[in-house]
Amino acid sequence: MTMNKETAVTGKTKDAGGFAETVKTVFYAVIIAFGVRTFAFEPFNIPSGSMIPTLLIGDYLFVSKFSYGYSKYTVAFGFPVFEGRILGHAPERGDVAVFKLPRDNKTDYIKRVVGLPGDTVQVSGGVLIINGQPVKRERIEDFVTKDALGREVRVAQFIETLPEGRTHRIIEETDNGPLDNTPVFKVPPGHVFMMGDNRDNSLDSRVPAQVGYVPLENLVGRAEFLFFSLEDGTRFFEVWRWPFDLRFSRLFSGVK
């Protein structure tokens, strides 16, 4: 009887110890995940076409949190633990960055930094003008995609060269659209001017009532590289479609 009692007690102790170890493991995993998402990298997916051709609908990418320092908007799960930005680094013109939409400070947007504090930015006839100087753009091959019916669609594509020499691709359906001719914007201190690479289909800083100037505090991080990419219309959990809809050529490519 004594042995049975001792065995029973020992069994309960093992069960309790196993449960405690499981709780500790889960706790440490949460802390590590929180730390990585706050201080290192956070994954994002692209749900819209505003950054075509650089980013496509269905792309999954990592954003580096340390690139611009840390604010309450970089903290994992949005905990408002402090104000301002610590270990701050100014973004560079041409960076592709995730930011919190200024009008609600909650919605994540991703665009390209084209205007820095103190710059003037304008678009005239589809051409980007920074500090009074037209930005060079070079016509290249059409960007080819498909519409909802599977028909081929061709859009004019350009290589745009920013003042510091960084280049990237943009697409333009027309040079006379609603966002192709704007007033001159003067970027205030502590803010940046953001634009999408799909110039005629991007809600960005050219629309003051919807986006406008983006405070540096609202920057979440810089887009670094793609780790996954699925054809538009394929959802991540539809693993049975991956062999057919995975864009292998985009895997682990850097965001320029």
Residuewise pLDDT in 10s, the chain (256 residues): 343 433 334 444 445 556 556 554 444 344 444 444 455 569 999 999 999 999 999 999 999 988 898 888 876 555 566 566 776 788 999 999 999 999 999 999 999 999 999 999 999 999 999 999 999 999 999 999 887 677 899 999 999 999 999 999 999 999 999 999 999 999 999 999 999 999 999 999 999 999 999 999 999 999 999 999 999 888 888 999 999 999 999 999 999 9
Domains of the chain (ranges, CATH numbers):
40-118+188-250 (2.10.109.10)
In the sheet that 136-146 helps form, which strands lie side by side, from edge to edge?
136-146, 152-161, 167-172
pTM, rounded to two decimals: 0.82
Strand locations in the chain (E): 41-45, 59-64, 70-71, 85-86, 96-100, 108-115, 120-124, 127-130, 133-134, 136-146, 152-161, 167-172, 185-186, 191-195, 214-215, 219-229
Contact 232, 57 (CB under 8 A): yes
| 106 annotated active-site | no
Out of 100, 111, 202, 205, which one is annotated catalytic? 111
| 5 annotated active-site | no
